[in-house]
Amino acid sequence: MDTTTPQQTVAERQPYKNKTDGFSLQFPGDRTFQENVYGASVMFSSPVSATDKIKENVSIIKKTMSKNYTLEEYYTLNKDALTKEPNYTEVQVSTIKVNDLDSKKVIFTYTDHGTNLKVEQLLIIKNNIAYTLTYIATEATFNDYAQKVDEMIATREII
């Protein structure tokens, strides 16, 4: 018996385009989204299960920068802000390519109101505009959605 989970096909994804903030991507068909929420251009939320402590979500924030930061400088600024979170621990940092742009992928954990959270952030800079894609889940459920998040990231385009 085959116990592998089939990969999501393009047909199972929905297109999303934000002309105002200049990006597009495809998101899993089982997600809902809301625009202009909590400072994000858009937030995609997973279906809620009975055991969820939080609704796993992916948000995208666009920020026009006050000066021409490098990716390393922007990562450092971002990290400085995050280290103020309770029990902040950086798990992994790597530089990857997303649509031919250097991007910083950061995975970290912290505690919010007694819940241990795990976060994946992708930092991208293009034309003095920073895009931060953030996936947040509990530490216990992070891996349940990580592959779908990586698939979303792979379809992201800055337009």
Q: What is the pLDDT of residues 69-93, one digit of tens each?
A: 999 999 999 999 999 999 999 999 9
Distance CA(19)–CA(34), nearest Å, equals 15
The reported pLDDT for the residue numbered 156 is 86
Is position 51 within any domain? yes
Q: Which residues contact 17 (CB under 8 A, 6 or more apart)?
A: 23, 24, 159
CA 94 – CA 44 distance, rounded (Å)? 24
Residue 38 tokens read as 């909590």
The amino acid present at 97, given as its one-letter code, is K
Domain assignment present for residue 6? The answer is no
Flag whether pLDDT at 6 surpasses 80.
no
* Mean pLDDT, all residues of the chain: 88
Which domain CATH number covers 84? 3.40.1000.10
Say if 135 falls within a structural domain. yes
Establish if 5 belongs to a structural domain. Answer: no
pLDDT band at 28 (very low <50, low <70, confident <90, very high): confident
Give which of 22, 12, 19 is closest to 99, Cα–Cα. 22
Check if the beta carbon of residue 103 is closer than 8 Å to that of residue 27. no
Give me the mean pLDDT over the 45-69 stretch: 87
Q: Is 51 helix (H, G, I), strand (E, B) or coil?
A: coil
Residue at 4 is within a domain: no
Residues 56, 73 contacting (CB under 8 angstroms): no
- The dihedrals phi and psi of 99, each to the nearest 5 degrees, come to 50, 45
Q: What is the pLDDT of residue 23?
A: 93
56 residue type, one letter:
E
Q: Domain count of the chain? A: 1
Q: How far apart are CA 9 and CA 119, in angstroms?
A: 25
- Asked if residue 9 is part of any domain, the answer here is no
| pLDDT for position 7 | 43
Name the amino acid, one letter, at 143.
N
Residue 137 has pLDDT above 90, yes or no: yes
Residue 8 located in a structural domain = no
Range from 48-62, 90-104, 144-158 that averages highest in pLDDT? 90-104
Which residue segment(s) compose the domain that 53 sits in? 14-158
Domain presence at residue 143:
yes
Place of tokens 């402590």: 53
